[in-house]
Amino acid sequence: MSLTAGSRPDGTRPPAAVEEPTAAVATAAAKDQVPRRTGKAGKKGKAGKVPWRVRLRRDRTLILMTLPVIALLLLFNYVPLLGNVVAFQEYDPYASSNGITAIFHSPWVGVEQFSRMFDDPLFWSATKNTIVLFVLQLVLFFPVPIVLALVINSVIRPRVRAVAQAIMYLPHFFSWVLVVTVFQQILGGAGIIAQTLEKHGWSGFDLMTDADLFKYLVIGQAVWKDAGWGIIVFLAALSAVSTDLYEAAAMDGAGRWRRMWHVTLPALRPVIALLLVLRVGDALSVGFEQFLLQRWAVGAGASEVLDTYVWNVGIQNGDFSYAAAVGLIKGVIGVCLVLGANKVAHLLGEQGVYKK
């Protein structure tokens, strides 16, 4: 493979190193499908090579092994979906002997809970905050782990690399309570920076209660806490890049930057696209505890996002039906976003999350 062919930045053709494993997976999958199809056909018409029963017996251990997971998945992920029906009711969990039968005793109100949203300024304020934060997270947070992964990857000495990685991972294991406290101790009105400035005659520094800068503050907190953790998946992708490619590129006279541009980044592209699609699909979930904890400091006007709004309305005020309606709308928008983002990924020639 010549360097020029494999390195077109427009990316119509991904480099071999990435193409090969995916192709291998694809062929393996295709091979796997062949007997299944014939098996099905065999069941319907003439006797196939591997009958349905035989396959069942052959795979029974595997099937048995997955059964508990499927049961849990059904029980905890799919059955509760039915509970969304309360969004069309005025649900009173105490209308009957228990909360589930109470659904049958609660009055139907049609789409009233949904129309309430249009007249609810708090809902729109929460939606606005959510979207603004999502965009900021995408622009300011999303690229950080990629850059960090490239930096880590360029470090050759394994010891330095391990230490750097460990330091970057650690904050991920802090709870949000701790993160907010640490930030308060540093950036708060009685924190280290404020005290130091005070000694030099500047007073009034308090970043933690500034409602206007809050959106950047939360991005900063998220970067500190989770950016290090986010590099793991990129490092894994980088480790899959064949060193042959770098050697070949170096042989052809590519410098450090050109190697990164033409070899490393294209190798990361499918992973970046995948994560981007997932992130966009999850756009309306920008965080929860982080915002709940700092609600007083900057006010609900700046810190209310859809998730905290649902929690307040549903759990705190006991308005379950309205909270369910808001949650349902959020879910529907999320699905639309995933489909849209995936479509865009396909159009750009990426695999995305799934293929048709």
CB-based contacts of 353: which residues, under 8 Å, 6+ apart?
274, 277, 278, 281, 338, 342, 345
Smallest distance from other proteins to CB 194, Å: 7
Smallest distance from other proteins to CB 307, Å: 7
**Near other proteins in 240-269, by CB under 8 A:** none
294 binds other proteins (CB under 8 A): yes
Q: Which of 35, 42, 99, 334 binds other proteins (CB under 8 A)?
A: 99
Strands of 92-189, DSSP E: none
The upper half-sphere exposure of residue 339, i.e. CA atoms within 13 Å in the direction of its Cβ, equals 6
Q: Which of 61, 97, 239, 243 binds other proteins (CB under 8 A)?
A: 97
**Near other proteins in 328-347, by CB under 8 A:** none
- 189: DSSP letter: T
Q: Which of 98, 157, 159, 251 binds other proteins (CB under 8 A)?
A: 98
199 binds other proteins (CB under 8 A): yes
Smallest distance from other proteins to CB 204, Å: 7
| CA-only gyration radius of the chain, Å | 26
Residue number with CB closer to other proteins (11 or 99): 99
Q: Which of 1, 117, 122, 233 binds other proteins (CB under 8 A)?
A: 122
299 binds other proteins (CB under 8 A): yes
83 binds other proteins (CB under 8 A): no
Strand partners for 89: 108
Smallest distance from other proteins to CB 99, Å: 3
Residue number with CB closer to other proteins (39 or 93): 93
CB distance 313 to 329 below 8 Å = no
Which residue do the tokens 């992973």 mark? 271
DSSP string, 138-168: IIIITHHHHHHHHHHHH---HHHHHHHHHHH
Which residue do the tokens 């003439």 mark? 46
325 binds other proteins (CB under 8 A): no
Helices of type H across the chain: 3-6, 16-44, 52-73, 102-105, 112-118, 121-136, 143-154, 158-169, 176-187, 192-199, 214-239, 243-251, 256-259, 265-281, 289-293, 295-298, 300-303, 306-311, 320-347
Q: Which of 228, 319, 329, 338 binds other proteins (CB under 8 A)?
A: 319
| Chain residues that interact with other proteins, rule: CB under 8 A | 92-95, 97-99, 102, 122, 175-177, 180-181, 184, 188-191, 194-195, 198-199, 203-204, 206, 208-209, 211, 285, 288-289, 292-302, 307, 311, 313, 315-319
